[in-house]
Structures are given as C-alpha cells and as structure tokens.
Amino acid sequence: MKKIPKITFVLIYIWLGVFSAITYLDLLLGASKNIVINKYWAHNIMICFLINILIFNLVKKKLTLIVISAAAFIWSTISHFVLQLHGSALCASLFKNFKTAVTVIDNYNLTIDLRVLLIALIFIINLVVVILFPKKHIETYSEGKLYMLPKLLFLTFFVAYACLSYKIANNNMSWAPFFIIEQRGYCSYLITDSIYCVNHFSKPDGYNVKLVPVNVEGFDDNVSDTNPDIIVILNEAFSDITKYSDVQTDKDPLDELNSIENLNRGYCLVPNAGGGTNTSEYELLTSNSTALLSVGAPFNYINFEKHNDSAVSYLEKNNYSTYAFHCFSKENYNRKIAYPAMGFDHVYLGPDQYEYHNKNGNRDWLDEDNYKDIIRVYNETSDNPKFMYLLTYQNHGGYEQNPPEMDTIHSSGEYEVSNDIIDEYESSLALSAHAFKELTDYFSAVERPVIICMVGDHTFSYSTQLGQENVSAQEKDINDRTVPYLVWSNYQIDTKMFTDYSSMIDLIPSVLYSAGIELDDYYKQILNLHGKMPGRSTVGQYVGTDGNIKNTSENPEIEDEWNRYLYAEYHRLTQK
C-alpha cells in the first residue's frame, strides 16, 4: 500500500471542506429565520468538517457524502416546518415530543415556500460538488496508506475540538437557547440542546447554598382558615391581539369580560412567543422559571416523582384534593406520566374522560364544555377544599377550520396573516370570554369560597408575524410573550398581588396569598421578586412597576433580587 500523494490528500480535504460548508448552510437555512454571519460560522463549519472527515475515512466512498447531504436536506426541511409551527428549530429534545408534533401538524396546512426551494437548491449544489469531484483522487486516497502519526494527530485534534465545542455550547446555558442559533450557530445549538437533554438544570452564576434565601419576611398578615376552592385554567392561545399587533376588529372579542363583577385583570409574561404550551404549564404549576431549564418540553424529560415541588404537592400538604383536566390526547407532552408524577390525586386526560363535547363548526372541544365537566366533577366529589387545574384546547391552531361566514369578529386592513385566519382566531376568543363569564356566573351562587384564575399559555401562533408601528424590537419581543390573566372570586379577597403585569411563576403564589394560605420561603421570595420586577421574560428583560421595559443588569438591586430567586430555584430543583 502506497503513501497517499500530497496533492491527493490536499484536494480530498479541500473537497470535504467545501462540502461541509455547503452542508452547514443547508442545515442553517432550515433552522433560522435570519442568517447571521459572524465569527462562529467557521466554528460550526469546522464541527461539520471534522465529523465528515471521520465518516469519510471509515468508508471512503462518494456515496457516503451523498447520504450525508441527503440527510442534511431532509433534516433542514423538517426543521423549517418545525420552526414555522413550533417556534424553534429541530433538535434532540423535540424528538421526545414526536407524537404531539404529528398531532399538531394535522391541524395546519404546510406549504412549500421560497425557503424550502432554497434548501433544495443548496442540496442540489452539494450533490453536484460531490459528483463532479474526480473519482481518481478518491481511488488513490482509498488505496493509499495514512500513517499512524497523522491519525493520532487528527484524533487528538478531534477530541480537543469536541471539548472546545462543548465549552462554547455549555456557556450558552442561560436565558433562552433559541437565540444561540443566531449568536453561536446551529451546530452549537444542537450541542447545547443535547447537553440540556442530559443536564436539565443549569447552575446560576455565583450559586452557593449559603445564599439561598431562608426565613423570608412578609406575607404572613393575610393567613386565614378560609381554604377556598382554587380553579386554575391555562387557556390555549388565549391572548389580546391588540397587545402585540396593530390589527383592528369590528368588535372586541374579550368585551364580555367587562361585565363580570369582582374580576381582576392584568397581563402575564410567558416563556415563549406564539407557542410552547408545556413551558408555560411548567412555570405555572411549579413556579420555577425556565431560565434554568432547557427549551422544549419539560414534562417529557423531567422526573416529577423526584422534582415534585409544585402547587399540587404544596396544596396537598394543606389538605387540598387535587384534580387535573385536559380533554385532548393523554400522550401529548407525556402528561399521562407527568400529571400523576406531580401528585395530582385525580387525573382526567383524553376524550373518554369527558361527558360534554361539542364543536364550533370544525373547531373542537369548546371551553364551555370543559367548564361543564369541571362543574360536574366539582359537584360529584368530596367537600374537602379542591385545587382544580384545567388545560383547554378550543383556541388551538390551525385557524382555517371554519368557513368565513361563521366568524363573529371581523378584522379590517391588510396584514401579513390573512384576515380569515385572524377572524377565526378572534371569534374563538369571543367564545372563551363568554364561557368564562358563564363559569363565574355559576360559581357566584356556590356557597363555598372559590377563586378562579385563568391565563393564556401563549399568544396567537402568528403573533411574531403581525407588526406594530412605533414599537421597538425589544418592546415587540416582550409584547409577543404577553397574554391576559384573570382572577375572580365569589368572596372578598386581598387583590394587591394582582398588578398590571405578572410573570407566569408569580400567579399561583399570588393566588395562594389572596386565598389566605400560608406561604413557604420559596413562594415568599417569588412575591418579593414580583414586587420589584412583576413581568419577567426569559431573555433577561422585565417590565418594571412603572410599566417600562428594563434589563436586570441595569440595576444592581434588581439583579441581586433576581439572583436570589435563581439560587432558591436551583436549590429547590437539586436538593432531592
């Protein structure tokens, strides 16, 4: 076996380099709406290059690169549609939610757009690069001998670069990894996501168990023995379209809420824009911020039998019976395992658990029907105080299920999203407002004290595509994560925690305070944080008590309060 000629060696590796750059571009086209060129492009191409060298040296055939290129094309195409429908690029953690993804896709019309055609074009160019490379160089390379020293040097560099890539990716484990793609590249994002799949909780900077707040003062003056029934509703895609767009409609879809007496209203910041139900569920029920978690679906990979500190376990310690309701598939987001593991005494998952099931045209599972089933279960069960949690389905996309003549709300003007889609969404919201009024009407006549809290899980799935004039990018980013929250009771409660803005993790501690339930240090720390930065996003910004958008790094006192909360959360997550 002859030694590989230098010219062949150089040409093969230049060829592999060009192939790797084109392959990475193809992957990136499906993963990011904005192609940002920065110094990390070379880093990401190098990751592809080293992997391709390793694979090619094992097989030494053109077919190897054709298979790699085809796999990149398929991955990128799927990632493009996942990005459009889910709001994040394809990654390892999303595969744990495959059944949900298939179910959701059934409700959308997928179209071949310009980006898909561009992905296909880059794939074809890559095939041409592979096919036109002279076969004689590959044959010479295959027949030649690569001595042990170059192999060892390559493996050493491969391992060293893998460690460097891990370090770069691991440094991104803060705030929201969605933005890593533009900042650090798609390969770095995939590594970060894989790290999250193994390491669910990242340690906040400066963490020390001695810094975890204990014996937190305040919030003891409202403790009572009322023990009201508490109903918490996470309403699918329930949002106020005027908050994040300039859409004009002939009627306010939420107008019926104005006639509800004793109703407290505000806005809540959720983790993601236009999607991400499970992250909102996680924050709402656990009061743990996703700032320390992977993006994706926490219910799919967190062991809630171990990490079971939540409103469920807390209220059970206060002698509450707990109930969880969701009318759609029990497979979605692994709820069939997560709900029982969180400690719910009674779980009503899947269509067969419900007596009421009507449609608005082709729109399925009305809020009104879900509320009827809650009332049914409420009346059939014991007199113990109850905590009832409901995740609705009515407002779920897509929004092309009914003919336009069924819409009761109509938009005027031209937008990047069709008027038919907007009108069907807004008409569905009007049904939600009507159903909520009927729910409060019913419980206003119930003898037991009752508190009902409803909040949207995220904004309209097209929220990021709807523009706002005279609004900065920072304001738009916050607005796209802003949904209404409602708190109602059939008796007088302390409402001082129900401020204009809230965060998802603050809602249940605020409700518990208003209910007169004694709070632990963790919930007290959250309410301390709420008093200083009530509306918080997962990208380092917050809405202050004055209604202005700010950054935690701008005020040392605010940053310290935020860090104290993160220390408390990390301790809570890792102490078991």
pLDDT, one tens digit per residue, over 546-555 is: 999 999 888 9
Residue 411 phi, psi dihedral angles, 5° rounding = -95, 150
pLDDT at 344 over 50: yes
Least confident window among 199-203, 415-419, 455-459: 199-203
- For residue 502, the SS3 value is strand
Gap between the Cα atoms of 518 and 246, Å rounded: 43
| Nearest Cα to Cα of residue 128 among 65, 72, 76 | 65
How much is the pLDDT for 106? 58
**Domain coordinates in residue numbering, the chain:** 6-167, 211-574
How much is the pLDDT for 175? 37
How much is the pLDDT for 408? 97
The pLDDT mean for the chain works out to 89
pLDDT digits (tens, 9 = 90+) for 151-176: 888 888 889 988 888 888 766 544 34
- 3-state SS, 302-332, equals CCCCCCCCCHHHHHHHCCCEEEEEECCCCCH
- For residue 11, the SS3 value is helix
How much is the pLDDT for 508? 98
Residue with more model confidence, 397 or 224: 224
Give strand pairing partners of 285.
none
Number of other residues whose CB lies within 10 A of the CB of residue 174 = 15
How much is the pLDDT for 217? 87
Rg (CA), the chain: 27
| Nearest Cα to Cα of residue 368 among 299, 439, 469, 458 | 439
| Nearest Cα to Cα of residue 289 among 272, 303, 273 | 272
Hey, what are 482's tokens?
């802003």
Alpha helices in 108-257 (DSSP H): 114-132, 135-143, 148-170, 180-184, 186-198
pLDDT digits (tens, 9 = 90+) for 69-107: 999 999 999 988 877 765 568 887 666 555 555 555 555
How much is the pLDDT for 397? 86
How much is the pLDDT for 263? 98
pLDDT digits (tens, 9 = 90+) for 467-509: 899 999 889 999 999 999 999 999 999 999 999 999 999 999 9
How much is the pLDDT for 553? 87
Instruction: Please report which confidence band the pLDDT of residue 177 belongs to, taking 50, 70 and 90 as the band edges.
Output: very low
Predicted model pTM? 0.75
How much is the pLDDT for 94? 67
Query: Quick one: average pLDDT of 113-125?
Result: 94
∠ Cα 368 370 372 (to 5°): 70
- For residue 535, the SS3 value is strand
Q: Which CATH architecture has domain 211-574?
A: 3-Layer(aba) Sandwich (3.40)
70-73, Cβ contacts within 8 angstroms, sequence gap of 24 or more: 70/123, 72/23, 72/26, 72/27, 72/123, 72/126, 73/26, 73/119, 73/120, 73/123
Query: Quick one: average pLDDT of 324-347?
Result: 89
pLDDT digits (tens, 9 = 90+) for 277-321: 999 999 999 999 998 886 567 887 787 888 889 999 999 999 999
pLDDT digits (tens, 9 = 90+) for 179-230: 678 888 899 888 877 776 676 788 898 999 999 999 998 888 889 999 999 9
pLDDT digits (tens, 9 = 90+) for 47-62: 999 999 999 988 899 9
